[in-house]
Each structure stands twice: as C-alpha cells, then as structure tokens.
Structure 1
Amino acid sequence: MAYTIDRTFSGASFDEIVERTRSALSDNGFGVLTEIDVSATMKKKIDKDVPPYLILGACNPNMAYQAIGIEPKIGAMLPCNVIVRKTGGDDVTVSAVDPVASMQAIENEKLHSVAGDVRSMLETVVKAI
C-alpha cells in the first residue's frame, strides 16, 4: 500500500510549488503548524547537500479534534506531513501522508473513518496545487 498521495510538477520553481501547496492547504481548512527545511538542516548538522526539501506539518483543527477525542494518543502521529521536494531536472514533487495507511496499526474503526475523511481532504489539496 502506498503511504503518500503524490503529484509531480514540471517546469515550475520549487518556491512556486511551496506557495501553491500552502495556498491549497489553507483553502481546504489546513494550517501549517511546523516547517522543516530538510536541506538547510542536513547542511548545518552533517554538512551534506540535499536538493530542496521542505516538510510542512499541516493540521485541520476539526479533524484533529475528532481524532484526539476518539484516540487520545493519536497526537503522536499528528500533524499530517506534506513534503515538497526537488526530484530532478525541473521537477518538483509534493507528497502528503496517507492517513489511512499510517493509521493501519491502530485498531479503532471510528478512527479509520476519520482517517478516510482526512485522506479525501488531502487528495483534494494535492489536486488543487
């Protein structure tokens, strides 16, 4: 089973796709709680060069509230990560976590329903970029 929802863009700049991703997240009820510049971190911590790679920790407060109410320890798996990365040539790929895949280890049908709703929302986000 795939664990991400992916879309690749050719000919657009990395920064443009980052902005389009932020906008699509916002337009679909997600806020960005965390941001990790993987490229800068790898350079700083281990002096390694990595092509542009950004992790956006996205959260839809209503869905997070539902999930925490159903499964209080689910916070260990939140927020929903969305990555934007340079994938070669002039390609930039956006990958959003598939909440259904990441929640498989949790035996709670109510949570699986919420995960399915969030997956649909993230699929909409990725299509809207």
Structure 2
Amino acid sequence: MDYYIAKTLQIPFAEVVTKVISALKDEGFGILSDIDVSATLKSKIDAEWRPYRILGACNPQLAYRALQAEDKIGVMLPCNVIVQERAAGDVEVAAVNPAAAMARVGNPVLPEIAETVRDKLSAVLERL
C-alpha cells in the first residue's frame, strides 16, 4: 500500500494551490498550516528549491473521532497535502494515505476512519 495518493496537472502552480484549498474545503477540511518550503529553505539556508507547499489539512469531525479512539493519533495529524512544481510545467498534488499510516497503530477503530479520510482526499484529487 502506497503511503500517498497523487495527481499531476498542467496548470499554473498558484492556480493549483487555490484549487486544492477549495476542494479540501468542499470535503470538510480546513487548512491548519501552510508551509512554503521553497521560501523557508531560501531564508534559512539560502538554498533554491522549486515551488513546493505543504498544506496541513484537517477535517475536525474525523480528527475528533480518531482522537477519541486513540489519543496519541495526533502525531499523525493534520493530513499533509503537498503541491509541487515538477518538470515541463507539471504540478503534482500528493496527499498522505492515512490508511497506510494508521494501519500500523493496531487500533481496530482507526481503519474505518482512515478509509473515510482517504476517500475524501481521493475525492479532492478527482475534483482537480
């Protein structure tokens, strides 16, 4: 089982970021964090990197259910979604596959929640 799900688009990077945030909202996710990796690397270590953003997405209802089932599951929250510019104008959107990550926890309640989150993140990618 892959640890991520992904889709590649050929539209401008900034437009993809906007579309991803909108699609996440449509699936009940909010953005808790937005890390501009390329800007951070430039300011901290003067390194150049292609446009790359990490969006920390959270669906409060599903996060609450997961926390009720396993109080340490917060180490796996929020669900990270990356948007990165690739070669030849391609922009890749990749999201964590929570089913792969949470399967290792061993709590029998988590797989159903993780599958629901994975389905919602897959729906986000389909909307793009």
TM (norm. structure 2) is: 0.98
Q: Percent identity?
A: 50
- Residues 1:86 and 2:82 are matched in the alignment: no
CA distance in 2, matches of 1:102, 1:84: 20
2:71: which partner in 1? 72
Tell me, what secondary structure is at the counterpart of 1:108? coil
The Cα shift of 1:66 comes to 0.3
2:86 match: secondary structure:
strand
Counterpart residue type for residue 52 of structure 1:
P
| Contact 2:103/2:110 (<8 A) preserved | no
What does 1:1-129 correspond to in 2, within 5 Å?
1-10=1-10, 12-129=11-128
Partner of 2:7, secondary structure, is: strand
Report the CA distance between 1:113 and its aligned residue: 1.1
What is the rounded CA distance, in whole Å, between the counterparts of 2:50 and 2:76 in structure 1?
26
1:89 Cα deviation after fit: 1.3
Take 2:68 and 2:32, find their aligned partners in 1: how far apart are those partners? 20
- Structure 1's consecutive aligned runs of 4 or more residues displaced over 4 angstroms after TM superposition are none
Using the alignment, how far apart are the partners of 2:89 and 2:118 within structure 1? 28
CA–CA distance in structure 2, aligned partners of residues 76 and 22 of structure 1: 22
Distance 1:32 1:126 in 2: 16
TM-score by length of 1: 0.97
The CA deviation at 1:104 is 2.4
Calculate the aligned-residue CA RMSD, in Å: 0.7
Please give the alpha-carbon distance, in whole angstroms, between the structure 1 residues aligned to 2:97 and 2:9: 20
The Cα offsets for residues 67-108 of structure 1, whole Å up to 9 and x where unpaired, read as 000001101110000000001111000001000111122001
The number of residues matched between the two structures is 128
